[in-house]
Amino acid sequence: MSDEHGSRAAEAALARAYEAARKYLRGVHEASNHVAVTQPEVRARLGTKLPDKGEPADAVIEALIRAADGALAPTAGGRFFAYVIGGTHPAGIATEFLNAAWDDKPGTPLVTPFGCAVDSLVGEWVLELLDLPRESSVGIVTGASMGNFLGIAAARHALLKRAGWDVEAQGLFGAPPITVLISEEAHPTVHKALRFAGLGAKRVVSIETDGQGRMRTDRVAAALATASGPILVCTQAGNIMTGAMDPFAEIAPLCRQHGAWLHVDGAFGLWARVSPELNRFIQGVELADSWATDAHKMLNTPYDAGFGIVRDTAAHLGAMDISASYLAQAAGARDPSRYVPELSRRARATPIYATIRALGRDGVREMIETCCGHARRMRDLLSARAGVACLNEVVFNQAIFRFTAPGRADDEAAADALTVEVTTRARESGECWVQSSTWRNRMVMRFSVADRATTAADIERAAAAVLRACDQALAA
């Protein structure tokens, strides 16, 4: 097997993968957004039986390319507006090829100086880009889910340590109970993180939000006033429906006053920090104790890329550090695995490094501002039509729309049905991918812009497709 990598089949596999990737990227912008191939069909293409004998790598790649044909959501195409799914910068894609070839696993600085250096530099760059306290430490994780877990684990460490309890050593049985205040609009991954941390997804004080989905400061103040013992407050920068940011400048001083730990789930919304124009919606977020955010959403890096950021490095390490005698440490070097839940992991900082370097600070700001400008443009184009309402203040990249038939403004059930039908018809047209969802018990069409590939023309085209779908739904 010594020439495994140089063999004809291996070379052919690499070349074929590269060629197919280029072909895909050249076509994805014009590809239909209607994915007709179903999961069982893909299963049939993949073959159902575990193979007894291996095949040449190039044959496997060929089979994969065929199996994926028509079965991929064109999330990189620029007209995919469902969920907050970013595209991928070519610098990140190219780095993924190299990363895999290098088989890099940043962990032990003695063995892997390259990956460890990139990891630490990217952490510093992210603090600078997001203008968060420079003394913070950064764990590069798979995404905001793990970022939330990391922040909450650090909070648990620090809050219980202050109460005289070593949670890493003693666990939670018999520990002073932590009161958790959490937005009623919190993302499900925050509840999941609370579950992982042993704090209970349901053992929380749910804080009421305003019409945009922002935590109400008066409700936070009231809950803090009645809470006793250690307190964790979970807030959000970027509501997944409205993009709304919690009022951090009001909440943070209250948390300080009560010695509460303030965590921010800023999966996509924290990127408002890069823009003077958007930053005004997120004032005071820098006063928090921990933050979770993604790179694979607004920053348009490949997947499995996010950050858990903690102001107090001792709390961060208290929760995440690993020590084992066989994991030799190099003097003066930073071992990234001390800051994250996993030991072995891919070098996920490297594509992030490449993406930030390719864009530069100005490019990152411009990318985020452009996405948010597109969301406002969509709001203007759709709400110019009678019967179409944008239900949120478009403060970031999210807009939610509701459709009403002429003369039936009071019939909420009819508007629910029309909204779902318009959304489905627009998507099935292949022109753009929009998704229906619920907001305050009513159906809405949810629209997110998170891909640098999206152009002004794409927005015009998507708006036209949605309005055409509306005409068709009304005529049907």
Ligand X SMILES: *Cc1c(COP(=O)(O)O)cnc(C)c1O
Query: What residues line the site for ligand X (CB under 6 A)?
Result: 84, 143-145, 187, 189, 238, 240, 265, 267-268, 294, 306
Residue nearer to ligand X on the CB measure, 104 or 294? 294
The CB-of-294 to ligand X minimum distance in angstroms stands at 4
Scored b (16 or more CB within 10 A) or e, 220-248 reads beebbeebeebbbbbbbbbbbbbbbbbbb
Query: How far from 8 is each of 18, 60, 66, 463, CA to CA, in Å?
Result: 15, 14, 21, 49
Residue nearer to ligand X on the CB measure, 404 or 448? 448
Separation between Cα atoms, residue 398 and residue 401, nearest integer Å = 10
Residue nearer to ligand X on the CB measure, 186 or 467? 186
Residue nearer to ligand X on the CB measure, 269 or 318? 269
Residue nearer to ligand X on the CB measure, 17 or 444? 444
| Residue labelled with tokens 């936070």 | 220
Nearest to 147 by CA among 176, 204, 187: 187
Residue nearer to ligand X on the CB measure, 116 or 144? 144
Nearest to 197 by CA among 235, 239, 236, 146: 146
Beta bridge partners of 294: 306
The CB-of-83 to ligand X minimum distance in angstroms stands at 8
Residue nearer to ligand X on the CB measure, 78 or 306? 306
Residue nearer to ligand X on the CB measure, 301 or 419? 301
Q: Taking the CA of residue 103 as centre, how many other CA atoms within 13 Å lie in the half-sphere pointing to its CB?
A: 2
Residue nearer to ligand X on the CB measure, 194 or 422? 194
**Could you tell me the strand order of the sheet in which 388-390 lies?**
388-390, 398-403, 442-448, 435-439
Query: How far from 437 is each of 25, 31, 243, CA to CA, in Å?
Result: 29, 24, 14
Contact, 5 vs 56, CB < 8 A?
no
Q: Taking the CA of residue 47 as centre, how many other CA atoms within 13 Å lie in the half-sphere pointing to its CB?
A: 8
Write the burial class of residue 134 (CB in 10 Å: 0-12 exposed, 13-18 middle, 19+ buried): exposed
The CB-of-239 to ligand X minimum distance in angstroms stands at 7
The CB-of-285 to ligand X minimum distance in angstroms stands at 14
The CB-of-461 to ligand X minimum distance in angstroms stands at 26
The CB-of-348 to ligand X minimum distance in angstroms stands at 12
**Where do the H-state alpha helices sit in 71-229?**
90-102, 113-129, 144-162, 167-170, 188-196, 217-226
Beta bridge partners of 446: 400, 435
Nearest to 114 by CA among 392, 349, 297, 326: 349
The CB-of-352 to ligand X minimum distance in angstroms stands at 13
Residue nearer to ligand X on the CB measure, 118 or 305? 305
Residue nearer to ligand X on the CB measure, 383 or 435? 435
Residues 11, 13, 14, 19, CA torsion sign: positive
The CB-of-187 to ligand X minimum distance in angstroms stands at 3
The CB-of-195 to ligand X minimum distance in angstroms stands at 14
Phi, psi of 165 (to 5 degrees): -125, 130
Residue nearer to ligand X on the CB measure, 108 or 183? 183
The CB-of-152 to ligand X minimum distance in angstroms stands at 12
As given in the structure block, the two tokens for residue 124 are 């510093």
Q: Which residues are within 8 A (CB) of 471 and not within 5 positions of it... i.e. 6 or more apart?
A: none
Q: Are strands 231-236 and 261-265 parallel, antiparallel or unpaired?
A: parallel
The CB-of-265 to ligand X minimum distance in angstroms stands at 5
The CB-of-189 to ligand X minimum distance in angstroms stands at 4
Residue nearest to ligand X (CB): 143
